[in-house]
Each structure stands twice: as C-alpha cells, then as structure tokens.
Structure 1
Amino acid sequence: MKDILREIGMIARSLDSISNIEFKEYDLTKGQYLYLVRICENPGIILEKLSELIKVDRTTAARAIQKLEANHLIEKKADPINKKIKCLFPTEKGQNIYPLIMKEHHYSTQIAVNGLSEKEQLLLATLLHRVRKNVEVSWEHVKKGKKREY
C-alpha cells in the first residue's frame, strides 16, 4: 500500500508552514489562523466545539485562544444562559484578517489541485472526506482515553 498518510502529512505541514510565515505580520503563528477562521465562521462557538472542529485537544485549543485574545483577534463573552460558559467571537481586527486568510486558502487550494481535472478534484475531495471520517472514529476513541488495537 502506498504511504498515503505520509503524503497527506507532508501536504498539511507544508501549507501550515507557508501560512505561519505569511500570517506572522498579523500576529498569527503556529496554526492560530485555523482557530480564527473557525471562530469567524462560527461566532459564539465554545472551546470544546472549536477543539472538535480542528481536531485538537482542549489544552492546545485553550493556548491558541489565549494568544488570539492577547493579540485582540478574538474575545470571550459569557453565554447569555449559562454565565460559566465562555463563547468566542472575532474582534473587528480578527474579522478584518479573515478575508486575507480565506484568500490565501483559495490560492493554496488552486496550487494544490493544479493539473487536476474537475472530475479528479471532486474525486479527491470525496476520498479525502471518507478518509477523514475513518480517522475521526479513532480520534474520538483515543480522545476518550481508550487504546487502539494494532
């Protein structure tokens, strides 16, 4: 079998590295742009849901959120019903950066699929979606403290 996950990992790390360099001037490093995008797309999201969307543990997400908040890109607001729950919202500064991040995302997507037909792009997207769904099962399993059988 081909080493599919190695290829996916190299693609992800390359694009993440590019983004970290290009977004540094906006105080976005170490993948923080991912968090900002999800918060802009889901204003009022809570930390737990955000960490599930990005597929990271809560501690990692909490550190990224602290940095985004310190850089005035997002803000926490108490939930109107349960004041203990903090909802995450982009600030005006964060909202202004969002279109730039999406522009980079669309550009990177075009570079990544260069030379692929529309049909191949659709097939790739479909297959990657299935792969992600398969991996999510293990991610949820391990996240709950369980071990996988090899």
Structure 2
Amino acid sequence: MENVYEELGRWISILYRRFQVYINNELKDLDITSSEYIFLIKLYENGELNQEELSSIYYIDKGATARSLKRLEKKGYIKRFKDKHDKRSYKLALTEKALLVKTRIYKTLESWDKTISVDITTEELKKISSTLKKMSLRALEETNNINKT
C-alpha cells in the first residue's frame, strides 16, 4: 500500500526541483538563479527591506540569505545602504538594472504558472495552496520546537 505522505513529498519535491531548473534556464542570460530571484520579487513588492526581514519572509537560514544577497549585489541587482532608523543595520534596495528586468522575471513566473496549472481550476489551486500553507506552518512550528530543545 502506498504511503500518502511519501507520495505528497515526492510530488512536491519534483515540482520544486523542476521549477528551479526552469527558473535557472529561463533567467540564465540575466545571471539570476532560482535562489536569488525570490529576493528580487520581495524587493519589487516592498521596496526597501533588510536582510533579516527577507530571511523571515521566506523562512530561510540567514547565512543562505546573506550569500544570495551578496551575489545579487555583486551582479549589480541590489545595493546596500545604512538604515536611517538603525545605524547598525543595512537596508537593501533594487538598482536600475533590477528594475529593467522586473517584467521579464514576472513573465517567466507567469509562464511557469500557466504551464503547471493547465486544466486546474482556481478553486483547486486555492485549496492546494491553503492545504500546503497549513502543512508548512505546522512543519515550521514543529522544527522550531525541536530547535528549542
């Protein structure tokens, strides 16, 4: 008998890995990877943020966030500047170069969404998203409890 959780994990893993391959391929000429574009998206949506805010939005390790942001800065997509309200902290902002590729990134994401959601209704997508969110929040809660012990 098949294990429903194993099947769920397998399909989530496949979808995630194939998406990474797709993003890496589609944005290759821009030198933007699947581990970097997510930070550009949040900066497009929010303007200026700091590194800690970006880490907590995505529940990503601070070290991994720092490495991705350093690469984006080196490539000229983001810039750092002192936070006016906290002189010990730095804010991150998009550069002109990042603004020039915004439409391309969003169109790439839209194309992926259309590809994977053919014949899936909006209601089904909402239910999948809601269910995965609940499971993810429980997983975060459990791993946070483990880290506290």
Q: How many residues align?
A: 145
Shift of 1:134: 1.8
1:28-107 aligned at under 5 Å gives the runs: 28-107=32-111
1:146 aligned residue: 148
Give aligned-pair identity as a percent.
22
Q: Distance in 1 between matches of 2:47 and 2:142?
A: 28
Shift of 1:36: 1.3
Q: Distance in 2 between matches of 1:99 and 1:38?
A: 14
Q: Distance in 1 between matches of 2:19 and 2:94?
A: 23
Pick which of 133-142 and 86-95 moved more: 133-142
Q: 1:118 to 1:20 in 2, by over 3 A?
A: same
Structure 1 stretches of 4+ moved >4 Å = none
2:133 aligned residue: 129
TM-score (norm 2): 0.88
Q: Distance in 2 between matches of 1:27 and 1:72?
A: 10
Pick which of 129-138 and 52-61 moved more: 129-138
Matching residue within 7, 13, 32 for 1:9? 13
* Maintained 8 Å contact 1:35/1:54: no
TM-score (norm 1): 0.87
* Maintained 8 Å contact 1:78/1:87: yes
Q: 1:139 to 1:109 in 2, by over 3 A?
A: farther
